[in-house]
Each structure stands twice: as C-alpha cells, then as structure tokens.
Amino acid sequence: MPDYASEHRRSIDDPVGFWSEHARALHWYRPFEQVLDTSRSPTGRWFTGGQVNACHEALDRHVESGAGERVALVYDSAMTGAIESITYAQLRAQVAELAGWMQARGIVAGDRVLIYMPVIPEAVVAMLACARLGAIHAVVFGGFGAREVATRIDDTEPRLILAASCGLEPGRVVEYLPLLNQALAQCRHQPQACLILQRPQGPAALTPGRDLDWRREVPGSPPAACVPVDANHPLYVLHTSGTTGRPKGIVRDTAGYLVALRYSMHAVYGVAPGDVFWAASDIGWVVGHSYMVYGPLAHGCTTVLYEGKPVGTPDAAQLWRVAARHGVNVLFTAPTAIRAVKREDPRGELPAAHDLGALRALFLAGERADPDTIAWAQRSLARPVVDHWWQTETGWPVAANCLGLEPLPVKPGSVSVPVPGFDVRVLDEQGLPVAAGGTGSIVLKLPLPPGCLATLWRDHEGFVAAYLTGFTGYYLTGDGGLLDTDGYLHVMGRIDDVINVAGHRLSTGEIEQALASHPDVAECAVIPVADAIKGQVPMGLVVLKVGVTRPQDGLRAELIARVRDDVGPVAAFRDCHIVARLPKTRSGKVLRGTMRRIAAGENPATPATIDDPLVLDELRPTLRRAADSGGG
Ligand code: COA
Ligand code: AMP
C-alpha cells in the first residue's frame, strides 16, 4: 500500500507523470497527444487529442474481458419490495438497445438528453445510453419543483427527455408528468419527444405527438455501438445551486473524469473490482453520477441502487438490511441520513441484528458531519467512518482519509487531508496564505486535477467570474475553514449563500426568487437556521407591499406552497415570518450575514454601515428563537 504523503507529493510535483500513469487503465480509441493543456483554460484540460467512451469504460470493457456475468447493479426498493440483480452483460444489452432506439431517432454526439427519473435501474440505463452515443445527459433530481426543471430544460435545450411516470416517496406517489408538463409550459425550448417509462405504481397520461411509451418503443431496437468521443467532450451537465437564483450547469469532461473516478475507487475508498459499493444517494446529485454510476462501474464493482429512505420505509434498519443483504463492502451516505437513523436508534442496536461482515467502511459527505454522529456510527458499526469533503464542481473527493493508501490517524471534526491531485490552500481576504490553524477561504491551486469541472454550460465567463477571479491562480470552493499544523483540513461551512438542507444543496437566492414572485411581496430574505436532523433549513423573512392587509396565516401558507411548487419539497421551507422591515446597510444591501449569525446563536456587533439599528433590534427575538430551537 503506497504511503499517503509520498503519493500526494508526487501528484503535486509531477501531475503530468502521475495522471498519465493512471490514464493507462482506460481504453483509448485514440491515444492522447498532451496530458495537461493549460493554454485554453487556467483550470487545465486533460488528455487532449485522445478519444474514449464512458459507456465502454463502464460496461463493454468488463464484458469483453470476461466479467460479463458479474453483477453490475443491484436494485433494492424499500418502496415496492423489488430486488433485482443485473449483470454487466445484461446491463450492456439494455443500454445498447436504448442507445439504438435513440440513434434511430437521430440522437448524435453532442445532443443533450434530459433525464428525469427516480432511483431505478432504467435511470442508469438512460445515463449510459447517452454516454454510449456521446449525447450529453442532464439529470434532474425528482424532488425539484417545476421551475427548477424548466430552468434546466431551457439551459440545456435537450432534443429528448427520458422520464419515468412517477417517483415513490413515503406515503405518496410523485407524479412526474404533471410536473414535466408544468415545466414545459414555462419553457422557451421544447424537446422533439419525451420517452416515458410507465411505472405500475403511477402510470401517466401521455401527451399525443410528444410522449412515447418506453416499453413499447425500445424493445427490439438494434443495439448501438459505442461512439468514441474526444477526451474533453462533455459527458454531462449537472446543475447545482450557486449564489444567485440561477443554477449553474457544471460541465464534466469525459476522459479526465473516468481516470479520476477509477483512481478514487481504489485510493480513496479502498475498493477493488468485484467489490460491492453502495452510495445511498440519488442519481440527481453528483454523488449519484460519480459513485452510483460511473465510478463503481468503471472500476468493475457492483453498484447498489436503493429506492427508499434511511428511516420510515419502513424502519431505521434499512441501511443495515441492504448492506447485509447485498454484501456491501463500502457504504457512502450523507450525515443527515445517519442523524435520522441515530434519532430512532440512539444506542446503535439495530446494526447488530444484521450480518455486516462484508462492510469495511462508512464514508460520509455532502454536509458537515458533527462529531456526535461520527462517534455514534463508529460505535455502532465498529468500522472506520470517514468524513470526506467535495462538491459537485470537483466531481470526486478533495479531502479524505484515503483507505486505499496508508490510512492516517483520524482527527474528529476534520475531513482529513487533501486527496492526491488536489493542492488545497487557505487564503485570507487579501489572497495571502493563512498560517496553519488560522481560518480563511478554502481554495484549490490551479490547475485542477482530472475530473473537476471544465467550465459552466454556455457560460464560460460566469465560470471564470464565480470560481477563478476571487484569487488569481486558485479555484474558489466557496467553503471556509483551516488547515492545521498536521496538514488536516477542517471545513467550517459555506461563505456564500449556498445552504445545505438534508444533504441537498440549495441557494437562498432560489428560494428568495420564489417568494419575491408572489404579488403581495415587496422584498424578502432567506437565511439558514440549524436543524437537528437536516443540518440546516431555510427561514424566510418577508416584507409585504404597502396596503396588503390580508390575514397573515393564509398568506404564509401561500408563500410556503409557492416555494414547494417552484423550488421543490426538498427545500423543506416551512418557517416563514412576515416582518415590517429588513435590516439594511446605508447603500441598501440586506444584512443577511448578520441575521444569519444571530440565527446561528452568535452575537455579532451591529455593523457600522447599518442604516437603522432599530430594524435589526426588532428582528433579534425572531432570529434568537430560531437559534434556540434549531439544533435541539
Ligand atoms: N422526489 C420527490 N420528492 C422528494 C424527493 C424525490 N426524489 N426527495 C425528497 N422529496 C420530498 C420528500 O418527500 C419530502 O416531502 P414532504 O415535505 O412532503 O415530506 C421533502 O422532499 C423533503 O425530503 P427529504 O429531504 O428526503 O427529507 P425527509 O424529512 O423526508 O427525510 C432524511 C429526512 C434525512 C431521511 C432524508 O433527507 C435523507 O435521506 N437525506 C439524505 C440525502 C442524500 O442522500 N443526499 C445526497 C448527498 S450524499
Ligand atoms: P454538493 O455540491 O451538493 O456536493 O455540495 C458541496 C458542499 O457541501 C461543499 O461546498 C460543502 O459546503 C458541503 N460539504 C460537502 N461535504 C462536506 C463535509 N464532509 N464537511 C463539510 N461540508 C461538506
């Protein structure tokens, strides 16, 4: 096992040598001419001139090397009771068939295809069928509202939409078609067709001339072969929340991503081909893209797709039931899921009722993991619990205790050390390095390793402005934190307006936009407040237009419903206060940061720039109540 320190040093001192070695593991239809090209983008483009195919890496390569009978995917639905195993050969056949159908309808490399599906095998088939043809997929999470879906359609202009008729949430069927219809009614762009997978739990009424029935259309289509694409061809666009109300379309290059994911599977997660890897997430998030689909499959592992929740479907033992039943070697989930389980099983007794003999480690990411939650998991599982840190933009972990390298001592509260490939620094407001132990902005020194975002979809200027201009020569992560004297990274949280609700990344700007669209709202502010299970939940402060005298209860209910419809139920927006005024600076900027700190239980000084200190004083009791009820 290589030692961490020398592996990391080599990756930083000689990135070209380091990554070209790892790139050899891929099947290159055409070899790359240059390992790292920084002439076109300061973040760097990897393996230029080469040609690969992501679906070939995920499926065909294994089938061709004799592993076709290995299980590629296990589907376990706590919602329907279904359990299904699909081998690499079977999955390839399904993917090639759907790709063949798409090809017959004229879909070619570079076309966009929007995927709107729950966690079911066909969602993976859809993603890989796109990759097979070089079509760029844009997966939209099922828990978003119509406006979020519409924004993604207009941004990517898909020729085709692949959707399921419904998703299944505890106690309710989420009908996708009414949401899709509502979204399309708001869109400039219309797709050529929508291919709909009818689920028996909630079949949909199809729109004639637009919607086609997947199960009638696809079977029997001639299988499509893999289409080689350039190394820097976008594999997908995945939108994520930024500091504005408009989500950012993260563009992922194909070859660098595959190289990085394969490296991470063994170096970070310590898994080998044939191991069973379970990322308990959703294909709509980056974790789903990287570690439910492309990472485990490219590495020849079995990936587990779980449709259900960690609690309530029907109990708090589902993580352990699924892990035992399918012999999971490594489990990855969000701390919020463990907090929810811990609440129902505070003594950690449920894991012992399941045979977790195969389980080697639990990885946590997506939000801050509080030390209590980590300690509970360590005690209950008696296995390494690794808190690791990354983001949609990076595509794979930036800091972790790498189990495939010589693991380091664990420091509670830290996400451990920078993963090989990442040069992590902490800078102060002037862009100067902060001494060990001091807090500042967490940045990544350019160029970025393979796998990280290359640009934003059709918005390269926005990409440069959002990530590269804050500190010249560095990528701005948006998180604050510190590197301690042992080189361990401690992530304190976002320094921008991104909030993290039950592991779901949202922007306060998106929620504010929904509130502001209500005809009675003059202005509003949304700030995060602590929540014992979800980590953070949004709180809305709304000022009404002059002359609005409607009863506040009805209005509040309308505002809550509006956020649910526009942004989605995942925003968990329930705490809405109608207030007389918002505190502002003399130049008219709402003091969100100050309110946020009061709601976090701090006692910040009243800013010198405040226009009227009384306004802030009026709000203090509301904000303090949020702080008091938050973490409890
Ligand atoms: N489609 C439609 N609706 C969805 C949805 C989806 N894919 N996912 C969530 N929702 C809805 C839920 O039904 C719920 O609606 P409700 O207000 O009617 O109850 C709402 O969005 C909030 O859902 P959720 O965030 O799942 O919260 P919860 O209170 O139902 O459950 C947890 C709490 C902690 C169990 C749950 O949030 C969880 O498992 N989180 C892990 C998240 C995760 O894996 N993130 C990926 C990063 S690794
Ligand atoms: P996402 O892009 O949805 O993966 O969200 C990324 C953001 O989640 C990061 O910028 C962090 O703010 C937060 N995050 C992810 N993992 C961790 C972690 N292990 N500890 C603290 N924050 C985290």
Q: What is the pLDDT of residues 269-281, one digit of tens each?
A: 999 999 999 999 9
At residue 89, does pLDDT exceed 80? yes
At residue 490, does pLDDT exceed 90? yes
Q: Which residues of 313-329 are buried (b: 16+ CB within 10 A; e: fewer)?
A: beebbbbbbbbbebbbb
Query: Which residues of 144-228 form beta strands (DSSP E)?
Result: 160-164, 166-169, 172-175, 193-197, 211-213
- pLDDT on residue 632: 44
Q: How far is the CA of 380 from the centre of ligand 1 (A)?
A: 24
pLDDT band at 497 (very low <50, low <70, confident <90, very high): confident
Q: How far is the CA of 10 from the centre of ligand 1 (A)?
A: 41
Least confident of 223-237, 497-511, 561-575: 497-511
> Residue 536, exposed/middle/buried by CB under 10 A (0-12, 13-18, 19+)?
buried
Q: CB neighbours of 482 closer than 8 A, spacing ≥ 6?
A: 426, 434, 436, 437, 438, 439, 440, 489, 490, 492
At residue 343, does pLDDT exceed 90? yes
- pLDDT on residue 495: 87
Question: Does the Cβ of 56 fall within 6 Å of ligand 2?
Answer: no
Task: Convert the pLDDT of each residue in 124-169 to its tens digit.
Answer: 999 999 999 999 999 999 999 999 999 999 999 999 999 999 999 9
DSSP character for 52? E
Provide the percentage of residues in the chain whose pLDDT is more than 90: 91
- pLDDT on residue 631: 55
Question: Does the Cβ of 342 fall within 6 Å of ligand 1?
Answer: no
Q: How far is the CA of 387 from the centre of ligand 2 (A)?
A: 11
pTM of the model: 0.94
Which residue CA neighbors atom 1 of ligand 2 most closely? 391
Please give the average per-residue pLDDT across 204-222, as a whole number: 97
DSSP character for 293? I
Q: How much helix, strand and coil, in percent to the nearest 5, is found in the chain?
A: 35, 25, 40
For 74, the token pair is 């296990």
Distance, C-alpha 523 to centroid of its chain:
30
Provide the percentage of residues in the chain whose pLDDT is more than 70: 100
- pLDDT on residue 61: 98
Atom of ligand 1 nearest to the CA of 141: 7
CA 23/CA 8 separation, integer angstroms: 17
Question: Does the Cβ of 340 fall within 6 Å of ligand 1?
Answer: yes
- pLDDT on residue 481: 95
- H-helix segments, 474-612: 508-516, 552-566, 592-599
Which residue CA neighbors atom 23 of ligand 2 most closely? 367
Evaluate whether 518 touches 502 at the Cβ level (below 8 Å).
Answer: no
Q: Which residues pair with 523 in a beta bridge?
A: 543
DSSP character for 594? H
Evaluate whether 99 touches 109 at the Cβ level (below 8 Å).
Answer: no
CA 441/CA 426 separation, integer angstroms: 5
- Mean pLDDT, the chain, rounded, equals 95
Q: How far is the CA of 570 from the centre of ligand 1 (A)?
A: 6
Distance of CA 19 to CAs 263, 264, 461, Å?
A: 9, 12, 28
Atom of ligand 2 nearest to the CA of 285: 3
- pLDDT on residue 60: 98
CA 82/CA 74 separation, integer angstroms: 10
Return the higher-pLDDT residue of 410 and 280.
280
Task: Convert the pLDDT of each residue in 6-50 to its tens digit.
Answer: 999 999 999 999 999 999 999 999 999 999 999 988 899 999 999
Please give the average per-residue pLDDT across 587-597, as a whole number: 90
Q: How far is the CA of 505 from the centre of ligand 2 (A)?
A: 8
For 337, the token pair is 């899921």
